């Protein structure tokens, strides 16, 4: 199964979610993959160095990703799509199957995942921690929903 994580520019939040999800799925020996994309038309930008540092602090190294926009093909190929904000979920609902669409706030008590772009390292570290906590709730949900397919 494949999960698509979506944020604004695909250089901070969604790539961190992709890396954290992939790391945790591998640790649990689950047949789950992930990708990430942007609501904006960004192509080929590297992951923000502060996001890479936040991942390193979580023990995730060697992650490489270049930004890409959400496309109809990515939406179709994904079994489940998770946005960083409720507003992004609402925007994608016009073009994606609502049954496979969710916002991170549906898996956390903390609401939307705040965008750390332009802020200090502490904001990126908190963002990564919030994403990690959400993924800890997302994986059991996916196991329950798609259990036979994992």
- Domain residues for the domain of 100 are 2-149
DSSP structure class, residue 135: H
- Quick check: 38 pLDDT over 70? yes
> Could you tell me which of 139, 121, 119 has the C-alpha nearest to residue 22?
139
pLDDT of residue 108: 83
Supply the pLDDT for residue 46: 97
Region 57-75: mean pLDDT is 97
* Residue 107 DSSP one-character state: T
Task: Tell me whether strands 33-38 and 80-83 are parallel, antiparallel or unpaired.
Answer: unpaired
pLDDT of residue 32: 95
Average pLDDT over residues 76-91: 97
* CATH code (residue 43): 3.40.50.2300
**73 token code pair:** 């093909």
pLDDT at residue 150, as a whole number: 58
End-to-end Cα, the chain, rounded Å: 7
Model's pTM, two decimal places?
0.96
Number of domains in the chain: 1
Across all residues in the chain, what is the average pLDDT?
A: 95
- Mean local confidence (pLDDT), 65-87: 97
Gap between the Cα atoms of 90 and 65, Å rounded:
26
Rounded average pLDDT over 50-78? 97
Average pLDDT over residues 99-103: 96
pLDDT at 148: 60
| Mean pLDDT in residue range 93-116 | 93
């Amino acid at each position: 199964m494949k999960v698509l994580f979506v944020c604004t520019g695909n250089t901070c939040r969604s790539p961190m979610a992709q890396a954290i999800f992939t790391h945790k799925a591998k640790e649990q020996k689950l047949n789950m993959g992930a990708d990430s994309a942007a609501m904006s038309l960004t192509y080929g930008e590297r992951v923000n160095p502060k996001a890479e540092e936040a991942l390193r602090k979580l023990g995730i190294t060697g992650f490489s990703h270049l930004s890409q926009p959400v496309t109809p093909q990515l939406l179709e190929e994904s079994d489940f799509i998770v946005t960083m904000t409720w507003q992004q979920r609402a925007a994608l609902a016009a073009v994606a199957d609502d049954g496979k669409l969710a916002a991170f706030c549906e898996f956390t008590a903390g609401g939307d995942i705040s965008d750390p772009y332009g802020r200090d390292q502490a904001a990126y570290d908190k963002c990564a921690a919030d994403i990690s906590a959400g993924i800890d709730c997302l994986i059991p949900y996916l196991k329950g929903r798609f259990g036979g397919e994992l």
